[in-house]
Amino acid sequence: MKKLITLILALLILLPAAASAVTGGSPYFGEWVAQKHGSTASYDAIIYYLNITQYKTSEFYKFCLNHGGGFGQGKVTDTEIYSDHWEIIDDHLSIPTSGITSIEVFYDKDTDTLYTKEWPVLTFARLP
């Protein structure tokens, strides 16, 4: 009887751990937002949205914003939207941003942010 109780307790402890190992618990998963560092040429701001799921899919959005001259004059002038599958490369992820381009994102565990090293230089903050 004691062996049966011990076995049941061990299974109850191990099953949640095995379930999280199957679905993954990567810090990359979630929704992220960033603003482009540096000059944006003809836009007031360029905002990036990134959604990385545990099912190897990702969504990438780029919004180019112009604030305009008065109340209600702001507008989104250019938008890019792309959805595809992310890929693990060594210690970071490759996120497709179009059919032929991608960005390489790295995770910083100290600040809980994603960042890119190449142009465009971005620092993604996690959305709650």
| Banded pLDDT at 13 (limits 50, 70, 90) | low
What pLDDT, in 10s, does the model give residues 102-116?
A: 999 999 999 999 999
- Which domains occur in the chain, in start order? 26-126 (2.40.128.640)
**pLDDT confidence tier of residue 127, bands split at 50, 70 and 90:** very high
pLDDT value at 20 more than 50: no
**Among 118, 122, 117, 113, CA closest to 38:** 122
Mean pLDDT over 43-72 rounds to: 85
Model confidence at 77: pLDDT above 70: yes
Note the pLDDT of residue 34: 94
